[in-house]
Amino acid sequence: MIAITLNLLAEEQQAQVERARDPIKFFIAVGLVVLTVAVAWGGTLSAMLAQRRVELQGLEARWKKMNDVGQGEGDYQKNSQFADEIVAINHSRVMVAPQLAMVKDLIPSSVQLTHINFALATQTTGGDSGGEEGAEGKHPARPKQSRHLVLQLEGLASSARPELEVDQFLKSLRGDTRFGAMVEDIQLRSIARTTRDADKVGGAVPAVNFTIECWYKEKAKK
C-alpha cells in the first residue's frame, strides 16, 4: 500500500519565505526598532536633563546666598574699620590735648595758626621695590605698614622776613624735649608767599601761608 502525502500549506509557506527575503520589509523593521530605541533614550536624556536643571538652579540659589553673605561681611568689615578709625581719632584727640598746650606755648607772636587738624596716615617701609630675589635665593621682605596720628598745623607768619619766622617755629617744635619725645618727625609740607594788611602802619606786610605736619610715634601693639 502506497502512502500519499498532500501539503496543503505549500503556498502559504512559499509566501512566508518570499516575505522573509524581501529587503525593504527587513529595513523597515530595523528602522522601527532603532526609532523605538532612540525615542526611549531621548526620553531618558530629557528626564536626566530636567533633573540636572533642578540641581543647577539649587546651586545658583546657594551661590547667590553665599555672595550676599560675603557682601554683608565685607560691608561689616568696612564699617568696623571705619568705626575703629573714628574711635582711634577721638581717643587720640583726648590724649593729645596736653600736647596741643605744648604747641601753643611754642608759637611765636609773629605766627598765627588758622587751622588744626588730626588725621590717620599709613606709612609703608621696608620691602624690595625691584621684586628680585636676594643673592642667597631668599624672597624679598614684605613691606611693613604702620599707622600714625598726624597733627596738621596751618598758619600765617608775617614779618619783614616771614620765612625765617616759620623756620624758627620749626626749630622750636623740634627742639622742645617734651614735645619731641612724643613725635617721630616734624615736616614743613608747604609754604607760599602772601601779603597781610598792617594794623597801624599803612601798606602791606610780607607774610607766608604754611603747613606743618607732626607725625606722632606709633604705639606698640598689645
In SS3 terms, 10-34 reads as HHHHHHHHHHHCCHHHHHHHHHHHH
Whether residue 207 contacts residue 158, with contact meaning beta carbons closer than 8 Å, is answered with: yes
Q: Supply 107's cell numbers.
A: 608759637
One-letter identity of residue 142: R
Helix pair angle (23-106, 162-175), 10° resolution: 100
pTM (2 decimals)? 0.47
The span from the CA of 162 to the CA of 108, in Å, is: 12
- Give dist(CA 217, CA 222) in Å, integer: 15
pLDDT at 34 over 50: yes
- Sorting pLDDT into bands at 50, 70 and 90, what band is 140? low
**CA 187/CA 154 separation, integer angstroms:** 12
pLDDT of residue 222: 43
Cell of 102: 605744648
Please report which confidence band the pLDDT of residue 217 belongs to, taking 50, 70 and 90 as the band edges. confident
Would the pLDDT of 211 be above 90? yes
- Looking at residue 216, its pLDDT comes to 84
Residue 112 has, within 13 A of its CA and on its CB side, a CA count of: 7
Q: In the prediction, which pLDDT does 72 show?
A: 64
- Tens digits of per-residue pLDDT, 94-117? 555 666 777 888 888 889 888 888
Quote the pLDDT of residue 134: 47
Find the mean pLDDT for residues 6-14. Answer: 63
Q: Supply the mean pLDDT for the chain.
A: 76
Which single residue is written with the C-alpha cell 625691584? 130
Percent of the chain's residues with pLDDT above 90 = 10
**pLDDT of 8 above 60:** no
Residues 155-166 have a mean pLDDT of 90
- Greatest C-alpha distance within the chain: 171
pLDDT of 154 reads 92
Grid cell locating 178 = 617734651
Ramachandran bin of 126, using left for φ above 0, alpha for ψ from -120 to 50, beta for the remaining angles: left
Handedness of CA 133, 136, 137, 140 (dihedral sign): negative
Worst-scoring range by mean pLDDT, 35-39, 52-56, 215-219? 215-219
Q: What is the mean pLDDT of residues 37-48?
A: 83
Could you tell me the CA-to-CA distances from 114 to 9, 153, 204 in Å, in that order? 128, 8, 19
